[in-house]
């Protein structure tokens, strides 16, 4: 289906009654990694909700548009969610592209 990297929220899509949704999400690995739906392959889109982050993630930050890198080393960042105000980064954080569901990540040790 060619949609392996598609991972957008579809809950507001208007689907005509009787539309064939068979295998709509089959093979859409980025979508199924980010969302859970009533049926993993068929949806429907209105039933898809963003999957919860694993409890092992102590903090969730959004650096998606505010990170400056030099190669894979983070030079500066700003948390768009405003929850990283008291985090002190220890060492040299690295920037990893396309870690999960097409999303990027910053790896660091917090002090």
Average pLDDT of the residues in 7-35 = 72
Please give the pLDDT value at position 1. 47
> d(Cα 10, Cα 43) in Å, to the nearest integer?
10
Give per-residue pLDDT as tens, 62-100: 665 667 777 766 677 666 666 666 666 666 777 777 766
How do the domains of the chain map onto residue ranges? 1-52, 67-110
Distance separating the N- and C-terminal Cα atoms of the chain: 44
């Amino acid at each position: 289906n060619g949609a392996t990297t598609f991972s957008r929220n579809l809950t507001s899509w208007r689907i005509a009654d009787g539309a064939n949704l068979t295998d709509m999400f089959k093979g859409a690995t980025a979508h199924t990694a980010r969302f859970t739906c009533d049926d993993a392959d068929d949806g429907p889109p209105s039933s898809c909700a963003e999957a919860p982050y694993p409890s092992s993630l102590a903090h969730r930050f959004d650096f998606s548009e505010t990170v400056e890198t030099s190669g894979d080393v983070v030079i500066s960042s700003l948390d768009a969610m405003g929850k990283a105000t008291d985090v002190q980064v220890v060492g040299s954080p690295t920037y990893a592209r396309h870690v999960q569901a097409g999303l990027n990540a910053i790896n660091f040790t917090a002090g």
